[in-house]
Structure 1
Amino acid sequence: MTPPPSPPAPTGRDHEPDDRIVDIDLSDEMSDSFLEYAYSVIYQRALPDARDGLKPVQRRILYQMAQMGLLPERGHVKSARVVGEVMGKLHPHGDSAIYDALVRLAQPFTMRVPFVDGHGNFGSPDDGPAAARYTEARLREEAVQMVGEIDEDVVDFVPNYDNQLTQPSVLPAAIPALLVNGASGIAVGMATNMAPHNLGEVINAARHLIDHPDASTEELMGFVPGPDLPGGGIIVGTEGIAEAYQVGRGSFKTRARVSIEQVGPRSQGLVVTELPYLVGPERVIEKIKDGVINKKIQGISDVNDLTDRQHGLRLVITVKSGFDPQLVLQALYRLTPLEESFSINNVALVEGQPRTMGLRELLQVYIDHRISVTTRRSTFRLGKKRDRLHLVEGLLIAIVDIDEVIHVIRSSDDSAAAKATLQSVFDLTEIQAEYILELRLRRLTKFSRIELETERDELVADIEALEALLADPQAIRDLVGHELGETSRRFDSPRRTEIRSAEDEPVPTPKATRTPTSLERQDAPCVLILTATGLAARIDGDEFTTPRARLSHDALLAQWRTSTRSPVGVVLSDGQVITVEPGEFPALSAEKITPKDGVDLAGFVGADKGVRVLGAFPLGEKAPVIALGTRQGVVKRVELAALPQKTSQHLISLKPDDQVVGVGMVADEDWLCFITDDAQLLRFPAQAVRPQGPSAGGMTGISLSEGHEVISFHTAYSEDAQVVTISSSSSALSGVGPGRAKVTALQAFPPKGRATKGVRAHAFLKGEDILTSAAVAMKPLALSAGGRAVELPEPTDKRDGSGSVLPATVGHVGNAPGLD
């Protein structure tokens, strides 16, 4: 193996200094290089220009897309193609940075007014977009307003990175994008974070400042009360906003829009439909799960994201029974992104220098920019029209003696001689003579002369108008305001973010008392209401009295004073009793109560199909004794105080095909009343029925005739109660014909012993053979199936009378509302 050659011996020349090597102090080099880097980041990447509100990469994207012809009426193109064009011609940075900026311009949850119409997956607050090769893009109408008029010398153009092309230093920006869409960026030694605003509000403020140059920030806040975030939500408190509008720095709190709704048969939930700015549902769910696992958040049983494209954001947070949803919500605001702080730092470039500005300064910079654009545009148009008028005047001179013009041209040796002759013969300028030589002969007809004279007059009028405009600075300001008004009419949209005063929000729980039990529903007095149509509600407080109670279009099954944490037993027609708390029901105002304000109690407790709610009673040590009557004539008394504490249990063992038809509180001195479909009424003392345990099947209450059944069972606390019976035909279709009704005092029916047939309560006329409805009530109230009151006939002393024809079909009969 051959050994490697030895290195050559050093020579004297190797130690001679190289003239290309310059000794530089390391600290000086680091300082200079860092300053160059900082300058590049501040001016070329991180901070937006205060005039058009865009960073360089955003400006280059919009300009290049306009140059590519990607207008709203054209089709989408691959985002990768846009990125390549921008990177190759204008933006010497990586494709990922360009695509990220393009995506942001298309995201409606990021930009209050998006500039790019994206087709495909452009991401969400929780997830990033698809790759540029999978998405497509084109400009939106709003972006056309940003780049419009750019060919009319309205802004300065500067060379691109390799001096091969030019690019605009700023866009004309017919939309105040900096305030409307906000901005965020981190530079070297400084940063910007600006909130989005409503387009119409910002333009109204700008127009006011145009008309009133001395307007104060407080006046402008009358037009711009605060940010308008793309995702909506609620801004709590305005002190930080006012400070930011004054000095350019401040902060405010944003909250999710949350409503308390019934999300399950027996559960309430917090339904989130709007989130704070740039907060996604997955992030909220993750924080809630972490809080529940770490036991920092109590009272939540489930979280479901039901968001879809049709209904938008819907995040359902199920609250455990016994916890106050409002207190749980306050805890979520404190511990999750349902409440976020937004720090405003209005830093933007003004004349190449970074400045921190308030609302008035931001608007003034934009107005000055639009005045400059409008002035340069008008000057450009004036020059174009003057040039055109010069040519038109030359044509009109030539048309006067068209034969001589043709002779001069034909007799000239070349075009240069013809041009010189035309100038001397017809006193034309070089430009006019050149233009005439390039025209076709058919343009020099008599008809063209009429057109040229019309065009000349129009040009003269336009030139005079432009000269007058440029000579009057106030006229230019008025034009800027008018154009802004047109922009607002085209693109304005309603405000999405609600602004609330901090005084309107509930006071948060102090840290010293933030325990799991502090989130539980507090025990407070209330009045429980259960209606004949199966609705339940509560009225907070204990000042509910008869004169103030107005239960429209419904009758009462139960009504008593209790508290929000006191257990209540809901009795169903299948013999079950379900334990609930009044605090789980909707709270209503005592001044006006309507059935739609309550909750369907059968669905609330999860009753099976066809099972009805018959009543509700307090449970616990002071629970009453109740009596139940079934369709097959069985009666049973149950001591609710003796029941075990269970969520649900049966009060009676029912025979096959039997069901409970009525239930009520009862004492030994009260009466029990059965009414059958063949018009038999039996009342007997409650003491005739001894209380039994929940597993017992009861005892015979009334002896039924073959083929008939009980339709109504009631407890009567006084013989002054009234009996309502309604007759019809068993062969008639349900709801066809209102039937006949009779109202009779209970004392007209003699008491009999238990397990007897009773006495006749209604005389059937021809065609009638059955009672369809009956009730025993102190103040009877009849309702139609639609909930309207049906007038009952006057009471009669005849217990076996036939009654009177009803004005409408009765669906429910119960007690009129009011506490005794």
Structure 2
Amino acid sequence: MARKTSAPVADEPYDEKIVDIDVAAEMEASFLEYAYSVIYSRALPDARDGLKPVQRRILYMMADMGLRPDRPHVKSSRVVGEVMGKLHPHGDTAIYDALVRLAQSFSLRLPLVDGHGNFGSLDDGPAAPRYTEARLAPPSTAMTAGLDEDVVEFVPNYDNKLTQPSVLPSAIPNLLVNGASGIAVGMATNMAPHNLVEVVAAGRHLVSHPQATLDDILRFIPGPDLPSGGKIVGLDGVRDAYRTGRGSFRTRATARVENVTPRRKGIVVTELPYGVGPEKVIEKIADGVKAKKIQGVTNVQDLTDRSHGLRLVIEVKTGFDPDAVLEQLYRATPLEDSFGINNVALVEGQPRTLGLLELLRVWVEHRIEVVRRRSTFRLAKRQERLHLVQGLLLAIVDIDEVIQVIRTSDDAGTARERLMSVFDLSEPQSTYILDLQLRRLTKFSRIELEKEQGELEREIAELTEILSDDARLRGVVSGEMADVAATYGTPRRTVLLDAAGGATAPAATNGRSKAPAISLEIADSPTRVLLSATGLLARTSGEAADAPLDRHGRRHAHDALRGDAPATTRGDVGVVTSTGRLLRVSVLELPSLPPVDGAPSLSGGIPLSELVALAPGEEPLAVVSLGDDAPPVALGTAGGVVKRVAPGDAPSRDEWDVISLKDGDRVVGAAPAADDDELVFVASDASLLHFEASAVRPQGRSAAGMAGIRLAPGQQVAFFGVVRAGTRDLHTVVTVAGASGALPGTGGGSAKVTPYELYPGKGRGTGGVRAHRFLKGEDGLVLAWVGEGPARAVGTGGQPAELPPTSERRDGSGVPLEAPVAAIG
């Protein structure tokens, strides 16, 4: 049925307007507008705080709602509703997805949201927002601190009714620590997570050395540190990305061969590559077995739980080499995956591809600007308050006259004007006096005001100095960075391997992809096993086995060397631990590291706990050869006992005791010692004793040793080591003193470096000579070391730490340290 429409009246004008446009031009303009919106408002993070707009709005709104870490969780739906209604003009699904990612410990190296409930896994999605709860995680307080002090610019929200920060203060280098991923129009970003302690150490170096180069920064940041741990195999792509902003690297699962049954070995996977879930691995293994691409696997069990973490057990058929099966799995399953780095972020509103140095510099400059703006804000506030306090003190001196002026005035305006003229006050001071409560006019209040005046003057002077002195400003920024690393830093999870055998790209044969045959035949060539001060083991490759010290006295790039031992590739070495055990370790199981600038690097070493089971608190102390011609191993305990035992008399099992320890005693040092070598003790009271190793006859494995050093009551041995014959002039003594009651890592203490030749020898079983005079507040040594210098110190995260120059005063005091030292080598 046709619809009738009334015709326009002839006398009335017909207000119709038709505009002819070019469809191609309209599509181009609309597409560009959409592309810009995606790039700038959705997909790419800001290089300063490392956040996309939706993430920044979530954190800001949660902070505005008061959802601090010490407050109860609230429903995620409430957070999503607040963000969507006030700041983010998009759907609730996108907001909740961003909130979930901020809370996932397997997605972010340092989660910013503390989630309560099912926030998903690598294989499953999260529960609906009505079932989960959230609040800010502790690191988020550092991201949002100072927003009320004009540290960043605020911009209008989508309807111009509210304001929001254009960037967060971001005391944490979030973009480098947590990485980022996003797909925009015509560009994408994919950034790898890093370790907070390492990034902050590099940032502090850049603050104090603005002209630092990329090579300088790589001393602190050896590579990514993924939330899932695992291993990174091959660092060439990482270094390319650090230089150009683009590169790729391979990530590999952490797996080892174990006895899953008394008669069958299996492969136990405890860490997977970044972004890979166990269900995906199990599915790929099952498909490979069915397609006969994977051989030797009988069963796969997922024994993951909350108490023990990831544990994937792959059973191997009898007669198959588990190592060969593992190599097969690396080729055919996601147990080895690749990660492509594409460092695209917004800098001053423009998308740019940035290298590591540029990323770090943007964050450092942002922090300097934040601290400058905050100091300016605080200075103005304190000057304003001081002005009021000074006026109030003037009023209190002549309080009777002030009251008389106010009482005889007709109204408040007249009283304000009369106060300004009679007492020479400003308008803010007069207004403040009129608003004053009578109880503030007591004598005690005057004392409080005078005290407040002094505090304000001191703070104003300090803030003025910060703003007028660039070095002081940078010192404040560096100190705040150190506090953030100490508060939120965690140890490195990912092992870095410069190179390793294993899966390689399939080779094309007649148009078909065919994997090369796996061979575990490795030549039994000479090598050297290294033990770092932070407990990492590695073996050198090729010419690195005999590489000399570099011009800085360093054998490696990212750690300090505790000890080394010669071996062969297919041989075994022994590792002496603090409980008096000697553990047999196969050299083949250690990562083979090529030299860096001619010297072996320990940045890709492997913890001993990944090879053998260690007791709680048990630490590796030394690595020794197990050959029949190896010299005896000398051991020193905290109780002052010394012993020499021949490692060549080793039983056939994989572990055995080399000393019988008394209750409460532990081994503090061990090293091979021939008869003409010297044994060195350093006690906690800073006494040093050394004597000929021939004074200690070799004993059997069950012997308890003999008296090494006489200790004063309440003291213990801080260091034990060996000085090889003919090398006395090459050795250095390093002592670090501190307060025994201080919490670990809370103070740097004082350090002293002296030549070993300054210390005279004494007989075994006697007291030593003083090696360190304590400063006020110090009562003992927290660390000591004797070895071939120059010495190198590392911090709690493995980053380099500065030691004072060599002193010729044998019993002098130390030089205060800027940061705590964790180990020396």
TM-score range, shorter chain: 0.5 to 0.7
Q: Distance in 2 between matches of 1:542 and 1:69?
A: 60
The residue type equivalent to 1:478 in the other structure is G
- The answer (yes or no) to whether the contact 2:296–2:316 under 8 Å persists in 1 is yes
TM-score, with normalisation over the residues of structure 1?
0.63
Aligned residue among 115, 121, 125 for 2:122: 125
Q: Distance in 2 between matches of 1:194 and 1:337?
A: 20
Q: Tell me the secondary structure at the aligned position of residue 304 of structure 1.
A: strand
Q: CA deviation at 1:515?
A: 8.6
Q: Does residue 597 of the first structure (1) align with residue 654 of the second (2)?
A: yes
Q: Does residue 211 of the first structure (1) align with residue 229 of the second (2)?
A: no
Count of residues in correspondence between the two structures:
542
Q: How do 1:525-540 residues align onto structure 2 when only pairs under 5 Å count?
A: none
- 2:85 counterpart residue number: 88
Unaligned runs of 5+ in 1: 526-539, 545-552, 554-587, 599-786, 790-820
Q: Distance in 2 between matches of 1:292 and 1:515?
A: 17
- 1:505 counterpart residue number: 501
- 1:661 counterpart residue number: none
- 1:667 counterpart residue number: none
Q: Does residue 421 of the first structure (1) align with residue 418 of the second (2)?
A: yes
- 2:240 counterpart residue number: 243
- 1:690 counterpart residue number: none
Deviation per CA, 1:684-713: give whole Å up to 9, x if none.
Answer: xxxxxxxxxxxxxxxxxxxxxxxxxxxxxx
Q: Does residue 162 of the first structure (1) align with residue 168 of the second (2)?
A: no
- The answer (yes or no) to whether the contact 2:506–2:516 under 8 Å persists in 1 is no
- The answer (yes or no) to whether the contact 1:91–1:161 under 8 Å persists in 2 is yes
- The answer (yes or no) to whether the contact 1:197–1:228 under 8 Å persists in 2 is yes
- The answer (yes or no) to whether the contact 2:250–2:336 under 8 Å persists in 1 is yes
Q: Distance in 2 between matches of 1:311 and 1:511?
A: 39
Deviation per CA, 1:573-619: give whole Å up to 9, x if none.
Answer: xxxxxxxxxxxxxxx98876645439xxxxxxxxxxxxxxxxxxxxx
Q: CA deviation at 1:360?
A: 0.6
- 2:388 counterpart residue number: 391
Aligned residue among 199, 218, 222 for 1:221: 218
TM-score, with normalisation over the residues of structure 2?
0.62
Unaligned runs of 5+ in 2: 525-567, 573-580, 582-624, 629-647, 656-700, 704-825
Q: CA deviation at 1:476?
A: 0.8
Q: Tell me the secondary structure at the aligned position of residue 444 of structure 2.
A: helix
Q: Distance in 1 between matches of 2:5 and 2:366?
A: 69
- The answer (yes or no) to whether the contact 1:323–1:521 under 8 Å persists in 2 is no
Q: Does residue 407 of the first structure (1) align with residue 399 of the second (2)?
A: no
- 1:564 counterpart residue number: none
Deviation per CA, 1:88-122: give whole Å up to 9, x if none.
Answer: 11111111111110110000000000011111111
Deviation per CA, 1:472-528: give whole Å up to 9, x if none.
Answer: 1121111101110111111111000000121x4257597589999956999999xxx
- The answer (yes or no) to whether the contact 2:303–2:313 under 8 Å persists in 1 is yes
Residue range with higher mean Cα deviation, 449-458 or 140-149: 449-458
- 2:490 counterpart residue number: 493
1:420 to 1:123, Cα distance in 2 relative to 1, 3 A: same
Q: Distance in 1 between matches of 2:189 and 2:505?
A: 34
Q: How do 1:161-180 residues align onto structure 2 when only pairs under 5 Å count?
A: 161-180=158-177
Q: CA deviation at 1:216?
A: 0.9
1:442 to 1:276, Cα distance in 2 relative to 1, 3 A: same
Q: CA deviation at 1:166?
A: 0.6
Aligned residue among 102, 107, 125 for 1:105: 102
Q: CA deviation at 1:134?
A: 0.7
Q: Distance in 2 between matches of 1:486 and 1:13?
A: 82
Q: Tell me the secondary structure at the aligned position of residue 127 of structure 1.
A: coil
Q: How do 1:137-156 residues align onto structure 2 when only pairs under 5 Å count?
A: 137-156=134-153
Q: How do 1:520-559 residues align onto structure 2 when only pairs under 5 Å count?
A: none
Q: How do 1:341-490 residues align onto structure 2 when only pairs under 5 Å count?
A: 341-490=338-487
Q: Tell me the secondary structure at the aligned position of residue 434 of structure 2.
A: helix
The residue type equivalent to 2:428 in the other structure is I
Q: Distance in 1 between matches of 2:237 and 2:310?
A: 28
Q: Distance in 2 between matches of 1:488 and 1:49?
A: 22
Deviation per CA, 1:224-248: give whole Å up to 9, x if none.
Answer: 0000000000001111111100110
- The answer (yes or no) to whether the contact 1:217–1:246 under 8 Å persists in 2 is yes
- 1:66 counterpart residue number: 63
Aligned residue among 301, 312, 316 for 2:298: 301
- 2:280 counterpart residue number: 283
1:317 to 1:426, Cα distance in 2 relative to 1, 3 A: same
- 2:778 counterpart residue number: none
Q: CA deviation at 1:219?
A: 1.2
Q: CA deviation at 1:7?
A: 3.7
Deviation per CA, 1:388-440: give whole Å up to 9, x if none.
Answer: 01101110111111111001111111111111111111111111101000001
- 2:19 counterpart residue number: 22
Q: CA deviation at 1:334?
A: 1.1
Q: Distance in 1 between matches of 2:277 and 2:218?
A: 30
Q: Tell me the secondary structure at the aligned position of residue 128 of structure 2.
A: coil
Aligned residue among 33, 36, 55 for 2:33: 36
- The answer (yes or no) to whether the contact 1:119–1:137 under 8 Å persists in 2 is yes
- 2:42 counterpart residue number: 45
- 2:113 counterpart residue number: 116
Looking at CA atoms only, which structure, 1 or 2, has the larger radius of gyration?
Answer: 1
1:521 to 1:14, Cα distance in 2 relative to 1, 3 A: farther
Q: CA deviation at 1:442?
A: 1.7
Deviation per CA, 1:126-148: give whole Å up to 9, x if none.
Answer: 11111111111111110011001
- The answer (yes or no) to whether the contact 1:348–1:355 under 8 Å persists in 2 is yes
- The answer (yes or no) to whether the contact 1:322–1:520 under 8 Å persists in 2 is no
- The answer (yes or no) to whether the contact 1:60–1:167 under 8 Å persists in 2 is yes
Q: CA deviation at 1:17?
A: 7.3
Deviation per CA, 1:48-77: give whole Å up to 9, x if none.
Answer: 000000000100000100111111111111
- The answer (yes or no) to whether the contact 2:8–2:14 under 8 Å persists in 1 is no
1:481 to 1:543, Cα distance in 2 relative to 1, 3 A: closer
1:205 to 1:9, Cα distance in 2 relative to 1, 3 A: closer
The residue type equivalent to 1:436 in the other structure is I
Q: CA deviation at 1:212?
A: 1.1
Aligned residue among 183, 188, 194 for 1:186: 183
- The answer (yes or no) to whether the contact 1:194–1:345 under 8 Å persists in 2 is yes
1:132 to 1:13, Cα distance in 2 relative to 1, 3 A: farther
The residue type equivalent to 2:288 in the other structure is G
The residue type equivalent to 2:74 in the other structure is V
Q: CA deviation at 1:19?
A: 4.1
The residue type equivalent to 1:361 in the other structure is E
Aligned residue among 66, 71, 75 for 2:72: 75
- 2:659 counterpart residue number: none
- The answer (yes or no) to whether the contact 2:257–2:322 under 8 Å persists in 1 is yes
- 1:774 counterpart residue number: none
The residue type equivalent to 1:350 in the other structure is V
Deviation per CA, 1:4-51: give whole Å up to 9, x if none.
Answer: 567458779799975443222111110111011001100111000000
